[in-house]
Amino acid sequence: MPKQSPVVLICQPLLIQKSGTWRTILESAGLKVRFPGSGGKVLTGEQLRSELDGVAATIASTEPYTAAILKAASNLRVVSRTGVGFDSIDTAAATERGVVVACTPGTNHEAVAEHAFALLLAVAKRIVPNHADVAGGGFHRQPSRALRGKALGLVGFGRIGRAVARRAVAFQMKVLAHDPLLPSLPDDACAVEQVTFDELLARSDIISLHAAATESTSRLIRHETLAQMKPGVVLINTARGTLVDEAALRESLESGKVAAAGLDVFEHEPPAGSLLLSAPNVVLSPHLAGIDEQAFEDMATMAAQTIVDLGQGRWPAERLVNAGQLRQPWKWDSVT
């Protein structure tokens, strides 16, 4: 590292003005920790641009690292995400500037799987309306939806999809999986049936989304794909809001084609004005599936350690999104 203490900007709102193992790792390596003046909210593009002056690395949330912002941030060397998604970062522009983009694989998949099941149980067992009924003085008993024997379709079968599958098998569910990136399922997925996307839509009683946000998955769930689903299907989304056409889902919820939905993510966040806020039979949460206490500590620690590793000349390729595209040898103090 250069002799002058490099500055690390902590953009993740949940870490603002906090201490923890992650901070000890950074400061023990001689790095200076700086917090933005955003009041614990995700930085806007304009705020991020102004905060990046003199910053060598960030621990990032979902603030937008556009090509223009990256070009203006002449000292920036590393963007280290707390999480596995990086769709808010223009990785091509980062690579062109010699900026390493990192994420924290293997830290929060169990948390997301737990939350996906929490949403599924909430809608299947009508937890929210039943609570409101009893708390309001009622006591109306209605049969809930059974999970055992039902077909759960997983769109995406990476770490999170596999973690959800393990829980589904424990609930005696049939598990279908579709992932175009996997030619075959791993050996430990013996209770899971690999199917085409069309098969998954047609056969699933419940569909849970675990695909990345890409051009090919944008509005994957739309009028055409909803029409292929079983009447009364349940939809769970803990992946990215852009996978779902919110207007089409709202219509399907109103018609009963989709019986219920559990949603942790939205096309725009926060989802002010979203048609789903007033849709029937939905349970909503504020994009927090991957940040239970244990997972968040693990993510923050890995994000910080990645910055230190890079600053001290190590190359943790398994955590680096654009490792294969950066010009070598990459150096902390080199600026494109």
User: Which residue(s) pair with 89 in the sheet?
Assistant: 65
Rounded Cα distance between 192 and 171, Å, is: 13
- CA proximity to 331, closest of 316, 312, 317: 312
Q: What is the DSSP letter of 236?
A: E
Is 77 a known active-site residue? no
Annotated active-site residue in 162, 178, 287, 319: 287
Residue type (1 letter), 265: V
- CA proximity to 209, closest of 253, 165, 243, 185: 243
The set of long-range contacts for 88-95, using a CB threshold of 8 Å and a minimum separation of 24, is 88/60, 88/62, 88/63, 88/64, 89/60, 89/65, 89/321, 90/65, 90/66, 91/321, 91/322, 92/67, 93/65, 93/66, 93/67, 94/65, 94/70, 94/322, 95/322, 95/325, 95/326
Annotated active-site residue in 193, 199, 269, 297: 269
**What's the token pair of residue 213?**
């946000």
**What's the token pair of residue 226?**
């909803």
Three-state SS across 114-180? HHHHHHHHHHHCCHHHHHHHHHCCCCCCCCCCCCCCCEEEEECCCHHHHHHHHHHHHCCCEEEEECC
* Contact (Cβ atoms closer than 8 angstroms) between residue 185 and residue 177: yes
Rounded Cα distance between 70 and 97, Å, is: 7
Annotated active-site residue in 178, 240, 250, 319: 240
Is 34 a known active-site residue? no
Beta carbons within 10 angstroms of residue 189's beta carbon: 19
Is 96 a known active-site residue? no
Instruction: Write out the catalytic residue numbers.
Output: 240, 269, 287
